[in-house]
Chains A and B, each alone.
Chain A
Amino acid sequence: MQKTFKIITILFILLGFGQIGLTAEKELLGAGATFPYPLYSKMFDVYQKEFGVKVNYQAIGSGGGIRQLINKTVDFGGSDAIMSEKDQAEAGGPILHIPICAGAVVITYNLPGSPQLKFTPDIIGDIFLGKIKKWNDRRLQEINPGTNLPDMNITVVHRSDGSGTTFIFSDYLSKVSNEWRGQVGKGTSLKWPTGIGGKGNPGVAGLVQQTPGSIGYVELIYALQNKMPYGMVKNKKGNYIQANLKSTTLAANTALPDDMKVSLTDTDSPDGYPISGFTWLLVFQEQDYARKSKEKAKELVKLLWWMTHEGQVHAEPLHYAPLSPKAAEKTEKLIKSISYKGSSLIQ
């Protein structure tokens, strides 16, 4: 009995180790942002069926992705936030930001009758700063003349966990409100002046759905799937834009730097939605680290190329905005610059 037990245990251990040895080459590891997770999940599933390479992605949040990449425990990190100077320095080598798709952060609310509302940048700032406290405030009524706004308190709902969505939203508010920039700033976790917090996009959406008179910010996908109303936002050029795939893609169709480390918020594009942002996959430019083989680096580059080309067809059905031609062009250059021991991995 004891002998059988010992044999079985040893077999299991060997099996476990054997797995590691057999599949190491054909497996890639990533971690990070939760926003694009539905898209990545679909893409990696399709990729595995087509090429036999398994991609394991843990949606632990943008900050987590950055941290794991710096610690060199993953092959790539997912992030909706651009890496800070401090994190870049800690990484010890240039890290490329490969954009995969763009998304929109919408202002959703819970009012009787679910009216379609309009918001201006300063009003959004003042609501989330706690300065505008009632729905029938004069300023809100002014830009929504046709709607009868009720005499209800505004309950702000924000994220309780650190998130890329918060980063995009606070990045926008820091650009359009001096007071926000001074008092709160931008980041994945903030000292919110007012409001209650929900965990993840579902948490915020859930709280807004349940709390009459509440207002919150979620990814477009979430508001659409839960059939929640969201406001039109006045962009830099003075147009009120409804968030959808088209306006998000247009927001990205502006001056793009070569390293694609660009914020899309408060876009110059006349029909672009002002609270948009890219989501990136972060990789080391020089792939020769942590005893990584050239084959594995090649697999990673192949994956990135596929995700930014053939894989883009999966974006729209899942309500993600695919890369525009201009963005795709710059992205190709970035992927081509990934090297192993100095030589490029893809032509």
Chain B
Amino acid sequence: MNMQAEHFSKVANSENFFRKLLSLAGVFIIVILLAILFTLFISSFPAIRTFGIYFFSGSTWDPVRSEFGALPFLMGTLATSLLALAISIIFSLPISIFLGEYFTQGGKATFIKSMIELLAGVPSVIYGFWGLFVMAPLVRKLELSLGVAPLGVGIFTASLILAIMIIPYSASLAREVISLVPADLKEAAYSLGATRLEVIQKVILPYAKSGIIAGILLSLGRALGETMAVTMVIGNRNSIPNSIFSPANTLASIIANEFTEATDSIYLASLVELALVLFLVTTFLNTLGKWIIHRMAVNR
């Protein structure tokens, strides 16, 4: 009896230990995130103290006179990310339905899946080069035909490139979730006389809703933070954009451009405050997305 009790307590101990190790890993992540937030806050404090709330409404970025404002970049980031998201959903949703429902097995299906995943693997800089040398001239032609200034770079081009970059994130996740819809649910619908389209609309999509939105959130997060590809095609104009074709700048892009050369402390602190703004925007949008998912799950 004693040996048995000893054995059980050993097992219980190692179980306990394993669980504590796992929770430590979780705590570690939280600590890192808080540490990042803390560092950003401390390093940007000189700017926070100087500009206060006007940093968010200020539209001047003047390193010579030490006048800094985040509004142009905030707008640039939101404009490019949301537009890219909208464009990418037009492609990723149909792709995921196609691969998750119609074309699920076989060599060709695997090939298409791999190609989409490859999109995610292409380095950011390559997208930037491709955007600059292939996309920009095409957009330039479009702008000429529309009578707009033929710059080729700007919010439109950046959004197009971003859209292509983020397709795999939402497509892969949505495809997985769509293919996991229980067969008996679909069979039941078919047996009631539903057409394929109706099954997709009324059974598959509602069931996979939260997964699809999670995938969309993932791609939004990627779009918000994307730096290299955007900075090469956005035109780098530090002022508020006034049309979809105008050059602009994003939070990530200006930090990447000016960080290594910022010498005086207010300049540096302002750039760090931009990073803080990006961090907060990403956190806010992620939380909003999670809330939407939660509401949708509850409403099922």
Contact = CB atoms under 8 A, between A and B. Distances in A.
| Chain A partners chain B | yes
Contacts of B237: 192, 195-197
Contact of A162 (B133, B152, B249, B260): B260
B151 A155 contact: yes
Given A155-B151, A190-B63, A198-B236, A61 B231 contact: no
A185 B65 CA distance: 9
Interface residues of B, number: 33
Interface of B: 60-65, 132-133, 136-137, 140, 149-153, 231-232, 235-238, 247, 249, 253, 257-258, 260-264, 267
16 contacts: A60-B261, A63-B260, A87-B263, A155-B149, A160-B236, A161-B258, A162-B257, A162-B262, A163-B261, A185-B65, A189-B262, A191-B62, A196-B235, A199-B257, A210-B152, A211-B150
Contacts of A199: 231-232, 236, 257
A156 B63 CA distance: 20
B263 A206 contact: no
8 A-B pairs with least C-beta separation:
A162-B261, A197-B236, A63-B261, A160-B236, A191-B62, A64-B260, A196-B235, A185-B64
Contact of A63 (B60, B150, B262): B262
A160 B63 contact: no
A187 B63 contact: yes
Interface string A57-69: 0001111101100
A153 B140 CA distance: 14
Given A160-B257, A162-B262, A203-B232, 9 more contacts: A63-B263, A86-B264, A155-B149, A162-B258, A162-B260, A162-B261, A189-B63, A197-B249, A211-B150
B58 to A, nearest CB: 12
Interface string A177-189: 0000000111111
A195 B247 CA distance: 9
Contacts of A111: none
Name the residue among A87, A191, A212 with the largest chain B CB count within 10 angstroms: A191
Nearest to A158: B236
Contacts of B249: 160, 197
B63 A206 contact: no
Nearest to A190: B64
Contacts of A203: 232
B263 A66 contact: yes
A212 B261 contact: no
A210 B235 contact: no
Contacts of B62: 190-191
A210 B235 CA distance: 13
A90 to B, nearest CB: 9
A181 B122 CA distance: 44
A207 interface: yes
B236 A196 contact: yes
Given A210-B137, A211-B152, A64 B63 contact: no
Given A64-B260, A162-B260, A199-B232, A191 B60 contact: yes
A340 B149 CA distance: 59
Nearest to A162: B261
Nearest to A64: B260
Interface in A39-86: 60-64, 66-67, 84, 86
Contact of A206 (B132, B258, B262): B132
A86 B266 CA distance: 13
Contacts of A188: 63, 261, 263
